[in-house]
Copies of this chain bind each other. A is one copy, B any other.
């Protein structure tokens, strides 16, 4: 199977699973007013989840289990993939709010607070976060594994992970940052969740401590590469392909890798991180080829 086919298969698998994992308002809230409000909340959550994302994080879950040749219940793996995508989706919904990045467009579609309203967007994000954790409590895996996975996801999402990265990002709009700070910001803002996707699958697959460390090294490299490439695309990309306003980060005066390293320097860094990712996987056999190609995809993608 070509990597593109593999990617598409992973995307389809998580897209199929997400609506079921989200659930619905439920018929037990039979009175019209309460039922309507809950139905709208679930519709807005569905809208925000099913927004045509690349599903890189979900693909990392499947590809990591694949690399470990893990014998895991499909449903458990889908739950991990959906939990990660829900945390990612909630962060985008909140990130797009007027008080944050104030984005009206996400992947060519109106953002949640535009399609619905700000209050709904806040609640959609809050609810997706709760539901992500709930999913990991329902896995058909040993309780010890589930608990370690929940601990990993909570730490990666929280103020010392993704949320902390957002705070660093927002505090530094219109400011010059040095490379170390820019890297810290991205390690938390994007990297933590990418590493968590890999970590969840590794814990679900009963990977050894050494395997988990190697996979985490891979995750650190591709997480940063992902952001470097995002910054490159923000300069080189096309709005129609990106689905967001090109140069948006530049116009917000956000610090970027090309701004610090130049465009060529940023491209060289992306390539170097890709090589680090491959080195981290050197003890893995051909089962890890999807992870290797995913690293390549991250720095080659045009959107």
Chain A contacts to B: CB under 8 angstroms: 23, 25-26, 29, 31-34, 36-38, 40-42, 45, 90-91, 94, 97, 99-100, 113, 117-123, 125-127, 129-131, 133-134, 137-138, 142-144, 146-148, 150-151, 154-155, 157-161, 163-164, 166-168, 170-172, 175, 177-178, 180-181, 184-185
Contact = CB atoms under 8 A, between A and B. Distances in A.
A20 to B, nearest CB: 15
B129 A150 contact: no
The interface centre, meaning the residue of A118, A146, A168 with most chain B CB atoms within 10 A of its CB, is A168
Given A137-B154, A147-B146, A168-B33, A159 B127 contact: yes
Contact of A99 (B33, B38, B118, B158): B118
30 contacts: A23-B160, A25-B159, A29-B184, A31-B178, A33-B168, A33-B172, A33-B177, A34-B181, A38-B160, A38-B168, A41-B164, A97-B122, A99-B117, A100-B119, A100-B122, A123-B159, A127-B159, A130-B157, A130-B161, A131-B158, A131-B159, A133-B150, A133-B154, A134-B154, A134-B158, A137-B154, A143-B146, A146-B147, A147-B150, A150-B150
Nearest to A151: B137
Given A34-B185, A37-B170, A123-B166, 15 more contacts: A29-B184, A31-B180, A37-B172, A38-B159, A38-B160, A40-B171, A94-B122, A94-B123, A97-B122, A120-B170, A123-B163, A129-B130, A130-B158, A138-B151, A146-B147
A123 B37 contact: no
A167 B33 contact: no
A227 B101 CA distance: 36
Stoichiometry, as copies per complex, reads: 2
B34 A170 contact: no
A41 B159 contact: yes
Nearest to A139: B147
Contact of A130 (B36, B94, B163): B163
B154 A131 contact: yes
Given A125-B126, A143-B144, A168-B38, A33 B181 contact: yes
A167 B40 contact: yes
A147 B159 CA distance: 22
